[in-house]
Amino acid sequence: MKRNLLPVALAILTIATQPQYSQGGWLSNFLGKEQSQEGAQPGSDAKAKASPQAGSAKDAATTPTPDPEKVKKLKAALEWEKPPADLFQRYAGTWQGDFWVYSVEGRLEQHNKMRITYTPQSDGTMKMEMWSGDLISKMWVTKVTATYSIEGDKIACTVQQPDGSSFKQIGHYNDGSVFFVSQINDGVEHSRERIDGKRLLSDGFGVYESLKKKNAHVFIGRFLKQE
């Protein structure tokens, strides 16, 4: 399925669960499998069977008891952070800058000037309008809109593309950034977005189903807050 890269790629700049299509990685092939006995020294198995209690006592003596407080802190650190109450206010306003699309080998495939306006709403949601600049007419032409809301520890987003189609994104906040996953049927799309002072920084990666052998892309967006 041929995909218009720009509208989908632009949507990664929006602030919007884990991918539905994630499966066990290559490491999962080794989980639960017994260690190979090749190369074992002769008689090693007999020694192991001869003194099972001694081995158990040694393991019990060297295995530390987990500290409940440390376990609790570690678990908390691995959980998603709750989105800040003022997250949408941080985005409020107009941002302008550049958006690049690269191949995974680093070849530039597309470059656009972008203008984005975020407007927090009285109901707690936020609206976004995004335009792409036409280098010939010097006008803002392609328009993408979106609506965001915070639902517990998730940031939900519905994106409306120029052709009238729409899709959803889900984001989580952690370490000062929002991490997004697009819920699309023809591939996978992930991105990370953060605000650094007056800069809005976005980096993403997408792989889409296509007749092409390589249909993977790297996205980079750099925007400045307009006064």
User: Which residue from 161, 219, 213 is spatially nearest to 190, judged by alpha carbons?
Assistant: 219
Q: Tokens at residue 29, please?
A: 């092939």
Residue 145 covered by a domain: yes
Residue 35 covered by a domain: no
Of 8-22, 26-40, 59-73, 84-98, minimum mean pLDDT range:
26-40
Residue 17 covered by a domain: no
pLDDT of residue 173: 96
Residue 96 covered by a domain: yes
Residue 90 covered by a domain: yes
Checking if the pLDDT of 20 tops 70, the result is: no
Checking if the pLDDT of 160 tops 80, the result is: yes
96-117 burial, b if ≥16 CB within 10 A, otherwise e?
Answer: bbebebbeeeeeeeeebebbbb
Of 8-12, 49-53, 92-96, 173-177, minimum mean pLDDT range:
8-12
Provide mean pLDDT across the span 112-123.
95
Q: Give the tens place of pLDDT for each residue, 123-137.
A: 999 999 999 876 665
Of 2-11, 62-71, 155-164, 176-185, minimum mean pLDDT range:
2-11
Length of the chain: 227
* Total domain count, the chain: 1
What is the domain extent for residue 184?
82-225
Checking if the pLDDT of 76 tops 70, the result is: no
Residue 10 covered by a domain: no
pLDDT of residue 198: 96
pLDDT of residue 40: 41
Other CB atoms within 10 Å distance of the CB of residue 25: 7
Q: Tokens at residue 3, please?
A: 């995909």
> 61 versus 82: which is more confidently predicted?
82
Q: To the nearest whole number, what is the mean pLDDT of the chain?
A: 77
Residue 69 covered by a domain: no
Q: Give the tens place of pLDDT for each residue, 196-210.
A: 999 999 999 999 987
User: Which residue from 224, 176, 216, 171 is spatially nearest to 8, judged by alpha carbons?
Assistant: 216
What are all long-range contacts of 208-216, with beta carbons under 8 Å and residues at least 24 apart?
A: 208/1, 208/3, 208/8, 209/1, 210/1, 210/2, 210/3, 211/2, 214/103, 214/104, 215/3, 215/187, 216/103, 216/104
For 92, residues 6+ apart whose C-beta sits below 8 A from its C-beta are 118, 119, 120, 126
pTM of the full predicted structure?
0.66
Q: CA 153, CA 76: separation in Å to the nearest integer?
A: 13
Checking if the pLDDT of 84 tops 60, the result is: yes
Q: CA 128, CA 50: separation in Å to the nearest integer?
A: 71
Q: What is the CATH number of the domain that holds 108?
A: 2.40.128.20
48-85 burial, b if ≥16 CB within 10 A, otherwise e?
Answer: eeeeeeeeeeeeeeeeeeeeeeeeeeeeeeeeeeebee
pLDDT of residue 177: 95
Residue 63 covered by a domain: no
Of 95-99, 113-117, 162-166, 190-194, minimum mean pLDDT range:
162-166
